[in-house]
Amino acid sequence: MKIDVHGHIGSVNLHPNWTANAKQVSEMTKKAGVDHCFVSSAMSIMYDTCKGNDEVLEAVREFDNLWGYMVVNPFFPESFRYLEYIGKERKVIGCKIHPDYHGYDLSSPMGKDLVRRVVDYATLILFHTSCMAGTGFSKIGTIGELASKYSQTTFISAHLAGLYQNPLYPYYINYSGLEEAAQMNLPNLLIDTSSFWIYAYPGVMKRIVELVGPDKLVFGTDIPIQSDMQIRFKIITIDSLELPQSDKEKIYSKNIRKSLQMLKDFK
C-alpha cells in the first residue's frame, strides 16, 4: 500500500502546470500506483482559506482515495471553525499549517497559540517546513519544540525537514534540518519526502535514510507540482534503495498508519 500524505487540489501559485482539480488528483494518484492521498487546497494556502477548505470537504466526499486536511490561518479567524470537521467528518484526517505563505512566524506567540488551538482537534498536523531561499517562518527546530510539547499529536515536517540547496553552490544539498530532526528523535515527529531533490541527484535519498532512518519517514509528493511524474520518480527512487522491503513499506504507509488509529483498517 502507498499513502501520499502531502497533496493539493487546485492551482499552486496559479501555475498552469501545477494545477489539478480533485478529479484530476484522484486520477493522477491512481495512475501512479498510490492508494490514498491526503490533500489540502491550494486556495486555502494561498488565497481564501475558507473557500479552499470547502473545496476539500467536497473532494473527500466525492472521491474515495482522497482524504482531507483543514487549513487554518490566523489572518482568517473564521478558518478555525473548520477544525470541528476533523474527526467528525470521516475523511478529514487533520490540519495543514503553512506559516511561510500565510505570513507569520511559527515560533512567535501567534504561531504557538495557533498550534495550541489546533491540537485540541487534530491528532495529525502537516507543517510546511521552510525550504526555499528567503523563507524561514517554519523551521524544524520550532516544529520539534512543539511536537515535544504536544506529544499526543503526530507532527509531520514537510519537505524533508526543510531540505534545500544553496543557490550559490549548486549540487550541494543542505541536510541540517534532517540532522536536527535526527538529534531530537521525537516519537511523534515524522518527516515527509515531498522534495524533488530525492530524485534530482544520486545518493540523496540514501543519505536521508542514513540520517533519520526509515521509521521516521512518510511518503509525500506535493502533487500536482510537476504532475503525476513526480510521484513516479519518488517511487522509483525509494524502490531502488538497498533496504529490506519491510522498511520501504514503512515509508510508503506503515509509519503513518501506525500513528493514526483511523488508518489502521486502510485497505
- At residue 262, the pLDDT reads 65
- At residue 134, the pLDDT reads 64
Residue 249: what residue type?
A: E
For 44-65, b/e burial (b = at least 16 CB within 10 A) is bbbeebbebbebbbebbeebeb
- Is residue 262 exposed (0-12), middle (13-18) or buried (19+ Cβ within 10 Å)? middle
Chain centroid, CA 188 distance in Å: 14
The residue to which cell 484522484 is assigned: 26
- At residue 259, the pLDDT reads 87
Decide if 146 contacts 115 (C-beta within 8 A).
yes
pLDDT by residue, tens only, the chain of 267 residues: 999 999 999 877 666 666 789 999 999 999 999 999 999 999 998 889 999 999 999 999 999 999 999 999 999 999 999 999 998 998 999 999 999 788 899 999 999 999 999 999 999 999 999 877 667 778 999 999 999 999 999 999 999 999 877 767 766 788 999 999 999 999 999 999 998 888 988 899 999 999 999 999 999 998 887 677 889 999 999 999 999 999 999 999 999 999 887 666 666
- At residue 85, the pLDDT reads 98
Domains of the chain, each with CATH number or no CATH? 3-263 (3.20.20.140)
- At residue 223, the pLDDT reads 87
Rounded to two decimals, what is the model's pTM? 0.94
- At residue 181, the pLDDT reads 97
